[in-house]
């Protein structure tokens, strides 16, 4: 007689939502961020049933930022789950940001039913086509029967592989609404093995020899450590290069911590001088884009020799012709350089004129910053705030930062000691990433070490982009301390008296400068509204006390609203980040 149990199993059905969730689980997806609704709610529920963490956000853009940060922090793509039409469109900013930052990301978007295409269906939109501009890969399964094969074997697995292989980036998979609840026979499903991490590639031996020769002959060498080095986990080899050969290094904003910021060879305090007068520069996972002034004069010497180390062949030689290009995994290539330099007893002389020049400039700039920080007048300035914050920062905390002066000045004062522990506006210069990044970092922190904290430093304008994510932070009780550095505006604002005088008998749309925001806004009340701790501070003493209390209380998130001088700015700059800037 036939086995009745086998017959039952062979006829067992499984929904498309469960197939998608299992495909995610098979590929070691740990986190999904999103906002549920028609037609993706069932996917989120199915994922939770399999043990995948689902974090419900308040805006798809913030959800996409969070998922992309997971990709950077873990090396596996975070998933952003969004509804059709407007929901997907809101996520495009996160996709573009992930692609520009070279971070793995997978967006799964619901879409209108197949039999309603071109009929004006609910939230109908050409989603696959739209996402192609912002992703490495964008596709849609053709049938419910093909979900196990198309999503996983052909498309999903391809999406995961595409997101992490080569230069990492964003990928999109489109799910028609009718796929979610339609059934497929369980026996027809064949899950593929988890996509492995990318193979380690090494640079050509001859190119490594040439690079080592150029470094040995340098009179004024400089290593620039980018976030690509952090992503590649190249910290051990690069630190050996710095220490063994007495080389000065400069981290890019998210390269901070690959070698600790307090290392004696870090020349971040003399950034402009180091860039302007170096004769040989080794780029470890750093691109010659606007952040590094394109590698062009007058920021650099006209005859400076660049050695580019990058995983992406298309990046090599961008904007200029380098002296040497080293294509490969940054950790592996830096080890190759170590081995080649080890063949001689060479080291860069620590008492050279170059080191003397850099140290003098560092000392001068640090003194100028300390002088600004020591000012007793109120309201406080940026430097006063950041020096007091730096005194209490836990060594292992994640630092998330966004804003204009808030981010740029904070980068020079707030130190990172560990790799992949700083997140900011990045290559795309995106405002609004802060709270999404902080939530992602907090999820990783909770899983790695329950005591680890996330310090999210926001300008008041930057906070406004995603302020409602405070409710998300409180709902999941995440270990985040938000610092809102409040100058009442974008770049600069008005104090209350000037604000009132400006508005007297006049239409605010005609007289309020475009940079101004409402003075003395109590952003801390957003946090208290959802059950967290809020502090409104105006003095260094209040700042120190509130930060001390926030760090001591591990049971609740907190927000410290820090009032500073509305016209406060940074110290004089040799070169602005942007070629043309009056701000």
Q: For residues 83 and 220, what is the distance between their CA atoms, to the nearest angstrom?
A: 54
pLDDT at 583 over 80: no
8 A C-beta contact, residue 82 and residue 44: no
Q: How confident is the model at residue 10 (pLDDT cuts 50, 70, 90)?
A: low
Does 375-579 carry CATH code 3.40.50.970? yes
Q: How confident is the model at residue 147 (pLDDT cuts 50, 70, 90)?
A: low
Structure confidence by residue, pLDDT tens digits, 28-72: 999 999 999 999 999 999 999 999 999 999 999 999 999 999 999
pLDDT the model gives residue 403: 93
For residues 4-19, give the mean pLDDT: 71
Q: For residues 144 and 175, what is the distance between their CA atoms, to the nearest angstrom?
A: 10
Q: For residues 543 and 524, what is the distance between their CA atoms, to the nearest angstrom?
A: 13
Q: For residues 425 and 94, what is the distance between their CA atoms, to the nearest angstrom?
A: 12
pLDDT the model gives residue 145: 53
All CATH 3.40.50.1220 domain ranges of the chain, comma separated, are 205-358
8 A C-beta contact, residue 322 and residue 300: no
Q: For residues 537 and 542, what is the distance between their CA atoms, to the nearest angstrom?
A: 5
Q: Spell 479-498 as b/e; 16+ CB within 10 A means b.
A: bbbbbbbbbbbbbbbbbeee
Q: How confident is the model at residue 146 (pLDDT cuts 50, 70, 90)?
A: low
Q: For residues 555 and 531, what is the distance between their CA atoms, to the nearest angstrom?
A: 11
pLDDT the model gives residue 157: 54
Domain 205-358: which CATH number of 3.40.50.10860, 3.40.50.300, 3.40.50.1220, 3.20.20.60: 3.40.50.1220
pLDDT at 200 over 70: yes
Q: How confident is the model at residue 96 (pLDDT cuts 50, 70, 90)?
A: very high
Q: For residues 460 and 517, what is the distance between their CA atoms, to the nearest angstrom?
A: 9
Structure confidence by residue, pLDDT tens digits, 342-375: 999 999 999 999 999 999 999 999 999 999 999 9
Q: How confident is the model at residue 522 (pLDDT cuts 50, 70, 90)?
A: very high
pLDDT at 274 over 70: yes
8 A C-beta contact, residue 532 and residue 472: no
Structure confidence by residue, pLDDT tens digits, 208-235: 999 999 999 999 999 999 999 999 999 9
8 A C-beta contact, residue 122 and residue 112: yes
pLDDT the model gives residue 151: 42
pLDDT the model gives residue 150: 43
pLDDT the model gives residue 192: 64
Say what the alpha-carbon torsion angle 16, 19, 21, 25 is, to the nearest 10 degrees.
-170
Q: How confident is the model at residue 174 (pLDDT cuts 50, 70, 90)?
A: very high
pLDDT the model gives residue 153: 47
All CATH 3.40.50.970 domain ranges of the chain, comma separated, are 13-188, 375-579
pLDDT at 142 over 90: no
pLDDT the model gives residue 197: 84
Structure confidence by residue, pLDDT tens digits, 153-168: 444 457 888 899 999 9
pLDDT at 152 over 60: no
Paired sense of beta strands 13-15 and 183-185, if any: antiparallel
For residues 173-179, give the mean pLDDT: 92
Structure confidence by residue, pLDDT tens digits, 334-344: 999 999 999 99
Average pLDDT, the chain: 92
Contacting residues for 352 by C-beta, under 8 A, at least 6 apart: none
Q: Tell me the pTM.
A: 0.94
Structure confidence by residue, pLDDT tens digits, 275-314: 999 999 999 999 999 999 999 999 999 999 999 999 999 9
Domain 13-188 is of which CATH architecture? Answer: 3-Layer(aba) Sandwich (3.40)
pLDDT at 185 over 90: no
Closest CA to 565 of 473, 496, 509, 480: 496
Residue 220: strand, helix, or coil: coil
pLDDT at 571 over 80: no
pLDDT the model gives residue 148: 46
pLDDT at 190 over 80: no
8 A C-beta contact, residue 550 and residue 481: yes
Structure confidence by residue, pLDDT tens digits, 397-456: 999 999 999 999 999 999 999 999 999 999 999 999 999 999 999 999 988 887 899 999
């Amino acid at each position: 007689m036939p086995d009745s149990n086998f017959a039952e199993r062979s006829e067992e059905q499984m929904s498309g939502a469960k197939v998608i969730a299992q495909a995610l689980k098979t590929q070691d997806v740990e986190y999904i961020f999103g906002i549920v609704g028609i037609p993706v709610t069932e996917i989120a529920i199915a994922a939770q049933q399999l043990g995948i963490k689902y974090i419900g956000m308040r805006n798809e853009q913030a959800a996409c930022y969070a998922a992309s940060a997971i990709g950077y922090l873990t090396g596996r793509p975070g998933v952003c789950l969004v509804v059709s039409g407007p929901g997907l469109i809101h996520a495009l900013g996160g996709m573009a940001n992930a692609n520009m930052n070279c971070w793995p990301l997978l967006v799964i978007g619901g879409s209108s039913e197949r039999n309603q295409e071109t009929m004006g269906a609910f939230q109908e939109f050409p989603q696959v086509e739209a996402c192609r501009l912002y992703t490495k890969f964008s596709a849609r399964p053709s049938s419910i029967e093909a979900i196990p094969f198309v999503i996983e074997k052909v498309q999903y697995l391809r999406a995961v592989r595409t997101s992490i292989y080569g230069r990492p980036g964003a990928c999109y998979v489109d799910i028609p609404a009718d796929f979610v609840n339609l059934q497929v026979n369980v026996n027809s499903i064949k899950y593929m093995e988890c996509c492995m991490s990318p193979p380690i590639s090494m640079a050509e031996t001859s190119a490594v020899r040439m690079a080592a020769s150029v470094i040995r002959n340098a009179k004024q060498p400089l290593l620039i450590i980018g976030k690509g080095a952090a992503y590649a986990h190249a910290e051990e080899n690069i630190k050996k290069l710095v220490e063994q050969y007495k080389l000065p290094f400069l981290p890019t904003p998210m390269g901070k911590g690959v070698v600790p910021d307090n290392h004696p060879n870090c020349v971040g305090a003399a950034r402009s001088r180091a860039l302007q007068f170096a004769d040989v520069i080794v780029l470890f996972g750093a691109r010659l884009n606007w952040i590094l002034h394109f590698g062009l004069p007058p920021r650099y010497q006209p005859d400076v020799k660049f050695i580019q180390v990058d995983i992406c062949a298309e990046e090599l030689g961008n904007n200029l012709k380098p002296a040497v290009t080293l294509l490969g995994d940054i950790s592996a290539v830096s080890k190759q350089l170590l081995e080649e330099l080890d063949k001689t007893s060479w080291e860069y002389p620590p008492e050279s004129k170059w080191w003397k020049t850099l140290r003098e400039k560092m000392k001068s700039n640090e003194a100028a910053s300390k002088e600004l920080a020591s000012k007793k007048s109120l309201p406080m300035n940026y430097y006063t705030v950041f020096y007091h914050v730096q005194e209490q920062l836990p060594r292992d905390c994640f630092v998330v930062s966004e804003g204009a002066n808030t981010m740029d000045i904070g980068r020079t004062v707030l130190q990172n000691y560990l790799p992949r522990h700083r997140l900011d506006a990045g290559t795309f210069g995106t405002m609004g990433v802060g709270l999404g990044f902080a939530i992602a970092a907090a999820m990783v922190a909770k899983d790695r070490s329950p005591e680890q904290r996330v310090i999210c430093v926001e300008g008041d304008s930057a906070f406004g982009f995603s302020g409602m994510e405070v409710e998300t932070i409180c709902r999941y009780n995440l270990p985040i301390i938000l610092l809102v550095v409040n100058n009442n505006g974008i770049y600069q604002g008005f104090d209350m008296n000037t604000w009132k005088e400006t508005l007297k008998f006049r239409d605010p749309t005609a007289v309020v400068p475009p940079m101004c925001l409402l003075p003395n806004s109590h952003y801390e009340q957003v946090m208290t509204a959802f059950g967290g701790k809020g502090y409104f501070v105006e003095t260094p003493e209040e700042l120190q006390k509130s930060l001390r209390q926030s760090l001591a209380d591990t049971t609740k998130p907190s927000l410290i609203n820090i009032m500073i001088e509305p016209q406060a700015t940074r110290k004089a700059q040799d070169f602005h980040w942007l070629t043309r800037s009056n701000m």
